[in-house]
Amino acid sequence: MGTPCNDTDALLFAASTEIRIGDGRKISFWHTAWTAGRRPKNIAPDVYSMSTRKNRKLHEALADNQWIRDIALHPTITSHHLQQFVDLWLIVRDVQLSPWVADTIRWKWTSNGEYSAASAYRAQFLGSVKTKLQPLIWKLWAPQKCKFFAWLPIV
């Protein structure tokens, strides 16, 4: 059973966490942002689509370059596929696992690095503009439906 997250949730998680590679046993090779904050499936989406084992952990994928063996070769491979493969390979080839050190995930939005629902909620509104129009809209004389639709763009 997978997590109840869509791709937007996964991207928010990737942007909100800092992954430190240890033994590679907690980290998903394709789905975790262990490559300088980016997920391999976003670096090489065409290579990801050709992979037959999308749920390997990092330590499994790196063992004898298993992630390469998981790629199903098709007659329709293009230079674009090859470029993505090389881009990913240049990152993966330099990864060194530390067998006796556990992987760590640090939450960027709290000072202690631990996740909190409140910090995740606040992170979703980073970059939004605060306005004082809300009280003005709700005090206007207008049907509730009009107030509601006037309020939506400023939320």
Confidence of residue 1 (pLDDT cuts 50, 70, 90): low
Mean pLDDT of all residues in 127-152: 77
Q: Which two tokens stand for residue 97?
A: 């696992």
pLDDT over 90 at 131, yes or no: no
Q: What is the pLDDT of residues 50-70, one digit of tens each?
A: 999 999 999 999 999 999 999
Alpha helices in the chain (DSSP H): 7-16, 40-43, 45-50, 58-62, 66-69, 79-92, 117-123, 133-139, 144-151
Nearest to 10 by CA among 50, 41, 56: 41
- The C-alpha atoms of residue 43 and residue 53 are separated, in whole angstroms, by 17
Chain mean pLDDT for the chain: 88
pLDDT over 70 at 155, yes or no: no
